[in-house]
Amino acid sequence: MAKSNYTEDNIKSLDWREHIRMRPGMYIGKLGDGSSADDGIYILIKEIFDNAIDEYVMGFGKKVDISVKDGVVTVRDFGRGIPLGKVIDCVSKINTGGKYDSKAFKKSVGLNGVGTKAVNALSDYFKVESVREGKAKIAEFKRGEILKDHKIKKMQAENGTVVNFKPDASIFKNYKFRPEYIENQLWNYAYLNAGLRINFNGKTLYSKNGLLDLLQRKTQNENLRYQILHFKGEDIEIAFSHGNHYGEQYYSFVNGQNTTQGGTHLNAFKEGIVKTIQNFYKKDNFDRKDILASIVGAVSVRVEEPVFESQTKTKLGSNEIAPGGQTVRSFVGKFIEAKLDNFLHRNEEVKNLLRARIAQSEKERKELAGIKKLANKRAKKANLHNKKLRDCRVHFSDSSRKSSEELRNGTTLFITEGDSASGSITKARDVQVQAVFSLRGKPLNCFGLTKKVVYENEEFNLLQHALNIEDGIENLRYNRVVIATDADVDGMHIRLLLLTFFLQFFPELVRNGHLFILETPLFRVRDKKQTFYCYSESEKQAAIAKLRGKPEITRFKGLGEISPDEFGDFIGEDIRLEPVVLNEEIDIDKILSYYMGKNTSSRQEFIIDNLRVEKDEAAEEEDQIELEEEEEELMRAE
């Protein structure tokens, strides 16, 4: 065994900038390119916006302006402004801030004095301006290092703080801000801070009724079984109803922070609803699954000095203390018990509708019980992990499942079809965090079918077992689920069938930003010295222009044609993923009916109107390929 020296020279001390830039995941979670809602570039926005919200919560300023243009973010609040003499310290001196003093910032989101410094260190350009009582202080930075320290000057403007930053492209490679993700993030701030006006790229976001408005927007295309129940108290607000969708759908918040991974407050919310309903109907045998089936709910609590399980604040810790010194579990549970029990005693119609929903869920669950049991046996007999799933090492053993949150959040499952395509991805993948699920042929069109088909169809049954989503997405085994199919007609059809499966039976997986489409290159353009992989015709033409002479052009017709060595470039750091975004405005039933229904007249009309255009474009491409081949033959003949 080779000896390694371990001396004083191996011990290094990094300054705050170096540490953040070397270990950005500790501060902002995964980096990403903006294709996921929880990618680092959105955490940067959140860290700055949280400060503006804290000012509003403390009673200073009634609006926040934010613009995102050409990769540059500007946030302007109208609070008190950072004390002018401490502006530079607050954005560049680690563990420095005003939120350690609970008298100044009670129930604040950012308590550790890290967020703004992380944004500064991870930005190619960062500028902060504070305005207080007719004076302003400005400081400019590059990657955490100060560029210009402006002198304090007079300025006639409203008090507040302006932060302007551009993420460092060397860290956030090929990043792109997606407005829909930012707007959804900002809407959450609006719902949790009723009365606040947020101006985003010229659009005003405003909520009067908090979580009630949130659920009304989230369920605008769904027929709820009864009115949304909305209860608000000091430091707590909840809202919920039941619909007809599969699974459970929750939105949880602590001190205005969207805790996408839940925590003690969300567990207490679900537990409180279950216990209150069991007690009210005097039915201890009501199954928890039947009570929570098809629920859509939201919970928000405010606590002093919250403890989150990571710097990105996506999950509330387990030992939280709520107002009055009680646990969060007790605080939330008692509130729900008092409010919900009282409401049900006074509202006969809702009481009957809720009971009917529970009875229906119980009936459906019992009808599926036998089928599920057989399906589970088939899944075990099929030897899922050898036959269909090439798993990643993070999930190989119980001990590895205890690996870091950052590592688990980096896991990806590629769903592909065919031996050659799955073989290429399997050989090229990062076996530590990337897994591959192989389909056999085209999946079933499950539009309009019940969940019974998920258990009766072998492919769907094995896929849900691989993802571990049979009982919801709480235990989803992979953070990213990527559909990887060929860029031809058959590949597009398989993609649509898989999208139908997820939207029909597991819409929460899509809503929570876990589903993606893998983009693979259509062309390879190369000469003896350089190779370019192109994802569009325009990229191909640009690559041809960069190369001298006659380049070799290859058109990839399927994933199986791309060698494993090449595939490694497309599923590594430079992976291109197109997120499947489910906006609140989208009516799932309507869109699935249009694309996957039985020969709808509107779809027929669309095909007829657009067939000629598609045919002409395809013909032009074939003519171009034939022309290039003829030119090559002539050159060889000469």
CA–CA separation, 114 vs 325, rounded Å? 27
Yes or no: is domain 16-206 CATH 3.40.50.2300? Answer: no
pLDDT in the model for residue 620: 52
pTM (2 decimals)? 0.80
Tens digit of each residue's pLDDT (9 = 90 or more) over 516-553: 999 888 899 999 889 998 988 999 999 999 997 889 99
Q: What are the strands of the beta sheet with 412-417, ordered from one edge?
A: 389-390, 434-439, 412-417, 480-483, 515-519, 576-579
Distances (CA, A) of 568 to 173, 565, 571, 573, 607: 17, 6, 6, 9, 37
Tokens found for residue 544 = 């041809």
Instruction: Please give the torsion angle defined by the CA atoms of residues 35, 40, 44 and 50, in that order, rounded to the nearest 10 degrees.
Output: 90
What 8-state DSSP symbol labels residue 85? G
Tell me which residue has tokens 């590594």.
572
Sequential DSSP letters for 584-603? TT--HHHHHHHHHSSS-HHH
pLDDT in the model for residue 370: 86
Query: Average pLDDT in the 156-183 region?
Result: 93
Q: What is the mean pLDDT of the chain?
A: 85
- What residues contact 622, with CB distance under 8 A and at least 6 apart? none
CA–CA separation, 29 vs 40, rounded Å? 6
In this prediction, residue 423 has a pLDDT band, given cuts at 50, 70 and 90, of: confident
Angle (nearest 5°) at CA 369 between 364 and 373: 150
CA–CA separation, 593 vs 376, rounded Å? 30
Of 227-236, 467-476, 566-575, 612-621, where does mean pLDDT reach its minimum?
612-621
Query: Average pLDDT in the 98-107 region?
Result: 51
- What residues contact 89, with CB distance under 8 A and at least 6 apart? 96
Tokens found for residue 449 = 């079918």
Task: Name the β-bridge partners of 321.
Answer: 327
CA–CA separation, 276 vs 140, rounded Å? 55
Q: Please write down the HEC assignment for all residues of 371-428.
A: HHHHHHHHHHHCCHHHHCEECCHHHCCCCHHHCCHHHHHCCEEEEEECHHHHHHHHHH
- Domain positions in the chain: 16-206, 211-367, 383-520+556-596, 601-638
Tens digit of each residue's pLDDT (9 = 90 or more) over 62-80: 999 999 999 999 999 999 9
**Out of 3.10.105.10, 1.10.443.10, 3.40.50.670, 3.30.70.2860, which CATH number does the structure's domain 383-520+556-596 have?**
3.40.50.670
- Helical residues (DSSP H) of 281-388, grouped into ranges: 288-292, 328-346, 348-381, 384-387
The answer to whether 80 and 54 have CB atoms below 8 angstroms apart is no
Cβ-in-10-Å burial (0-12, 13-18, 19+) of 282 comes to: exposed
Question: Does residue 313 sit in helix, strand or coil?
Answer: coil
pLDDT in the model for residue 145: 94
Q: Which fold has domain 211-367?
A: Ribosomal Protein S5; domain 2 (3.30.230)
Of 31-40, 281-290, 580-589, where does mean pLDDT reach its minimum?
580-589
Query: Average pLDDT in the 161-188 region?
Result: 94
CA–CA separation, 378 vs 178, rounded Å? 42
Query: Average pLDDT in the 15-26 region?
Result: 84
CA 601 to the chain's CA centroid? 35
Please say if the pLDDT value at position 322 is more than 90.
Answer: no
pLDDT in the model for residue 336: 97
The answer to whether 38 and 260 have CB atoms below 8 angstroms apart is yes
Q: Cite the beta strand spans of 507-626 per DSSP E.
A: 515-519, 523-526, 531-534, 552-555, 576-579
In this prediction, residue 170 has a pLDDT band, given cuts at 50, 70 and 90, of: very high
pLDDT top residue among 379 and 129: 129
